[in-house]
Amino acid sequence: MKYTEEMILHSESGYCMPFDEPQGKDVELSLGYGEQAHPETGEKFFHHGIDFNVRCYMLSAVASGIVTGVGNDPVHGICQTIRYDQYEMTYGHLSNVFAQFGQRVKAGQTVALSGDRLHIGVRFKNEELNPIEFLTMLYGNIRAVRQAGGHDVPAFPDPEMEVKTDYERNKKEIEELMIRFLPHYMEDLQRGAYTLPERTEQSLRHIFTMGAMKEYFYERMPSMENPLGLGHKAIPLASKVQNLLIADFLNYLALRHDVYLSTLGEAVKKNFMTKP
């Protein structure tokens, strides 16, 4: 498809995809647009979108727009539609929706969580498009802006306000564990197979209450990387929250999967083993 001037859409976030794959992993389609063959029966059918095998991935708005639909479709399950100018982009097979009907969203803002997979459909002036062509158009615009010296890269995280945690020496190992186990952690939390310890929940509630009282939130424009709009004055709060969340994730790994950091001492491991 050749895009006319009225069809050009810019992504102020600098992203053309609604999700990020782990570093080193390529984005791969599981089902393309158009005529397809059923993998088991061989029956031909027309697929009105594209699918990705992305389980429990945070999904973002690709541009600034407004949520024009949230519902439950018999084919694609929980769906969310966002209008960007004259485009409408639909995410299907969702497990959670964070931006509700009528809500305005910013480019890069987290809007939903995928389920077992993600379906994407795109329409322009109510005419169906191949989503790959739409995403390719966004990518081309982003490259053109960068080559022209534009600033379309998100302003957060700011290198000058890097948040340090108590786990810096284990950072790489924890990130690898998150890539492997975070979808299971999120799923177990959602269905109640794992619950946040009461002390952790109370600590988080206290931290967010104090943060709200001191007006730490929305110092900046919220985005996918910085949904609370945290600025420099919130660094101590952000550090405490990250410490609590990482500690709970490690607690989950120990209790549910018998997985521990390589630097953890045997005495600490035995303490986990005695917990109910």
- Containing 241, the helix (H) or strand (E) segment is helix 235-257
pLDDT per residue rounded down to tens, the chain (276 residues): 444 445 556 666 566 788 877 766 677 788 889 998 877 788 898 989 999 999 889 999 988 899 999 999 998 999 999 999 889 999 999 999 999 999 999 888 899 999 999 999 999 989 999 998 888 777 776 666 666 555 444 444 454 456 788 888 888 888 888 888 888 888 888 888 998 888 888 888 888 787 777 777 666 655 545 656 677 777 788 888 888 989 999 999 988 898 888 887 655 454 544 444
CATH architecture classification, 5-147: Distorted Sandwich (2.70)
Strand partners, 89: 82, 122
Checking 231-235 for CB contacts under 8 A at 24+ apart, the result is 231/161, 232/160, 232/161, 235/161, 235/163
Domain segments of the chain: what residues? 5-147, 159-273
Q: pTM of the entire structure? A: 0.54
